[in-house]
Amino acid sequence: MTKKERANFIDCYLDKRYPNPLVPLAHKDPYTLLIAVLLSAQCTDERVNRISPLLFAIADNPVAMSRLSEKKIESIIRPCGLAPMKSKGIFNLSKILINEYDKKVPQSIDLLEGLPGVGHKTASVVMSQAFGIPTFPVDTHIHRLAQRWSLTSGKNVKETEKDLKRLFPISRWNKLHLQIIFYGREFCTARGCDGLKCELCVTLFPNRRRPVRTKK
């Protein structure tokens, strides 16, 4: 298969397997999604979904969050890891939303990336999942799978994102990034498949004999 043929096969395969992928992080609006995605850095979605309701029970909007102290936020979100950094980001971005954005999460990837604690991947997820604006959030998991499936030669997530955007139609970006994540978690895991074991890898590369090493 050519790279484009692989991309088309993967697109059809994943759309059949996961026809209606749900957003994995529990939230009720763009603000709570933004906070949940920020909490998910180096933390599982399952853990975030256990901890975020405890935070949102006392502060589910920028005003309420800004009334808490950083220490209070930190004490609640500690199980998610990186709590000092995350609590500082949550507290400060909440104040910025109040003072500069009328308490609303901006619908701009550039403005989102300007908020404390918000990187490109977090901003992309919010744009995609909160506002339905086409983006292709690429984390280390999607980066790993894109390399296993020879969809990219990118050495980092930024390069891989550019490659995937060129390969897949913009109308599929928002849904496909979730489908790739779900397949990776279920079948093509970091340790469970090295490019030689899962159904998709074997179908795409029946003659592959060597494990695929991910370029970080």
Q: Which member of 16, 72, 103, 121 is catalytic?
A: 121
15 is catalytic: no
From the list 3, 5, 1, 15, the residue with the least C-alpha distance to 173 is: 15
Encoded tokens for 84: 């000092």
Q: Largest alpha-carbon pair distance within the chain? A: 59
Encoded tokens for 210: 């060597």
Q: Which member of 139, 163, 175, 194 is catalytic?
A: 139
Q: Which DSSP letter does residue 171 get?
A: G
Encoded tokens for 1: 């298969």
Encoded tokens for 139: 């984390």
| Alpha helix (H) residue ranges in 132-172 | 140-148, 157-167
Distance CA 193, CA 82 (A): 29
158 is catalytic: no
Give the catalytic positions in this structure: 121, 139
